[in-house]
């Protein structure tokens, strides 16, 4: 027993540009992150399992239209939603992942279902949706996933693209939600869920459900959930590379995670960040972007949330 649990969550590296941030929005983002921390903390505090904690935390973020996952998922270039999600537990590397789904209210629960009920680890949309229906998971109609902010972002992005330009607004380019936890038994887990990138090509799959890229957990090293330019996170096997550096080079979580985010990703157009935890409950949340909605809670029940990189902890 480490008897020291911790949980970290993120709501994506696509933070609103500082000049567009208002006090009201800031409060809403801090509150959304805190709600997710509370959902996971409620599990861990009772001696619950790391997997349950990360799934509950991610569901809270998927239900919140502010974040790019579940209800607030961004639109593809053809105006649809295609959501990706994964969950992994660090004891025996059990995994469940799915890509390109729309309908289930909580894509992370579909990933969990796959992890718990299938001998396979990764299902495409049709099979995953059938499994979710058969299992009685909750579904929503298309209009549940339609938010004006995301629709507007799609129109703006398509307009820029037609002019041969790309948006440099991170809030439009990025977003994902995720959680990592170390429970009181030293067990690790990670979960990630996303709508992907605004105006992505239909069928495009990002790093979030790709194990070892956007999601990873192994009790020997760490649990990771990432957010950012998915193609680069996949090419650099970002999450697994952090675990590998810890295992083979003996690096601490903070050193390994920083290296990958600032060097491998940061110097190769891989803007974004991640939340990570090791088996002693140490948390690291590096980013090379202007911000990342994120928060952490440890056993002492102190909740801290952050938006921009250099923010002081917000204890709401
Ligand atoms: N990593 C996500 C993807 O590429 C998007 C993001 O987190 O910004 O699908």
How many whole angstroms separate alpha carbon 241 and alpha carbon 262? 13
**What are the catalytic residues?**
176
Ordered mean pLDDT values, 10 residues apiece, the chain (316 residues): 83 89 95 98 97 98 98 97 98 97 98 98 98 98 96 95 84 87 97 97 98 98 98 98 98 98 97 96 96 96 95 88
Cα 4 to ligand 1 centre (Å) = 31
pLDDT at 3: 60
Contacts of residue 94, defined as CB under 8 A and 6 or more positions apart, other chains included, come to 88, 115
Q: Which atom of ligand 1 lies nearest, measured to the CA of 174?
A: 8
| Cβ atoms of residues 86 and 61 within 8 Å | no
Question: How far apart are the C-alpha atoms of 227 and 270, rounded to whole Å?
Answer: 10
The Cα 72–Cα 49 span in angstroms is 27
Please give the angle made by the CA atoms of 128, 49 and 11, to the nearest 5 degrees: 65
Whether 48 lines ligand 1, by a CB cut-off of 6 Å, is: no
User: What pLDDT was estimated at residue 81?
Assistant: 98
* Domains of the chain, earliest start first: 6-308 (3.60.20.30)
Q: What is the pLDDT at residue 119?
A: 97
What pLDDT score was predicted for residue 24? 95
Tokens describing residue 6:
């911790």
Quick one: which atom of ligand 1 is closest to the CA of 230? 4
Neighbours of 284 (CB within 10 A): 23
Q: What angle do CA 114, 117, 118 make, to 5 degrees?
A: 70
- Residue of the CA atom closest to atom 7 of ligand 1: 227
| Helix (H) or strand (E) segment spanning residue 44 | helix 23-45
- Asked if 69 contacts 208 with a C-beta cutoff of 8 angstroms, the reply is no
- Nearest CA, atom 9, ligand 1: 196
Distance (Å, whole) CA 249 – CA 179: 25
* pLDDT number for residue 18: 86
Q: DSSP letter string over 131-171?
A: HHHHTT--B--GGGG--HHHHHHHHHHHHHHHTT-----HH
**In which region does residue 200 sit, left (phi positive, over 0), alpha (psi from -120 to 50) or beta (all else)?**
beta
Q: How far apart are CA 46 and CA 140, in angstroms?
A: 31
| DSSP strands (E only) in 161-290 | 177-182, 188-194, 215-217, 222-228, 272-278, 283-284
Asked whether 228 lines ligand 1 (CB < 6 A), one says yes
DSSP secondary-structure letter at 310?
T
Q: Which atom of ligand 1 is nearest to the CA of 84?
A: 9
Q: Could you give the CA distance from residue 93 to residue 80 in angstroms, rounded to a whole number?
A: 32
Which pLDDT belongs to residue 28? Answer: 97
The contacts of residue 192 (CB under 8 Å, 6+ apart) are: 58, 85, 86, 176, 177, 178, 208, 209, 214, 215, 225, 226, 227
Verdict on whether the full-model pTM lies above 0.95? yes
Q: Is the Cβ–Cβ distance between 94 and 81 less than 8 Å?
A: no
pLDDT of the residue at 247: 98
């Amino acid at each position: 027993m480490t008897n020291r649990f911790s949980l970290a969550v993120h709501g994506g590296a696509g933070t609103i540009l500082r000049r567009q941030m208002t006090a009201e929005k800031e409060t809403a983002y801090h509150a959304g992150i805190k709600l997710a921390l509370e959902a996971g903390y409620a599990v861990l505090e009772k001696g619950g399992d790391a997997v349950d904690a990360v799934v509950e935390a991610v569901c809270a973020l998927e239900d919140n239209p502010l974040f790019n996952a579940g209800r607030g998922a961004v639109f593809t270039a053809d105006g649809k939603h295609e959501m990706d999600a994964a969950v992994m537990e660090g004891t025996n590397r059990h995994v469940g992942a799915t890509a390109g789904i729309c309908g289930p209210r909580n894509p992370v629960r579909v990933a969990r279902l796959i992890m718990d009920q299938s001998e396979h680890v990764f299902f495409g949309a049709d099979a995953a949706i059938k499994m979710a229906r058969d299992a009685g998971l909750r579904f929503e109609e298309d209009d549940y996933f339609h938010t004006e902010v995301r629709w507007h972002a799609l129109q703006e992005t398509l307009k820029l693209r037609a002019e041969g330009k790309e948006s440099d607004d991170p809030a439009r380019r990025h977003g994902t939600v995720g959680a990592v936890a170390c429970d009181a038994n030293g067990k690790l887990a990670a979960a990630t869920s996303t709508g992907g990138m605004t105006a992505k090509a239909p069928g495009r799959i990002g790093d979030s459900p790709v194990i070892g890229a956007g999601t990873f957990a192994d009790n020997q090293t760490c649990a990771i959930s990432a957010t950012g330019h998915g193609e680069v996170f996949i090419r650099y096997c970002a999450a697994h590379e952090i675990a590998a550096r810890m295992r083979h080079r003996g690096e601490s979580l903070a050193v390994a995670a920083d290296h990958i985010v600032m060097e491998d990703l940061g110097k190769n157009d891989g803007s974004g960040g991640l939340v990570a935890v090791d088996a002693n409950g140490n948390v690291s949340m590096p980013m090379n972007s202007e911000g990342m909605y994120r928060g952490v809670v440890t056993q002492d029940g102190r909740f801290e949330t952050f938006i921009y990189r250099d923010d002081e902890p917000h204890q709401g």
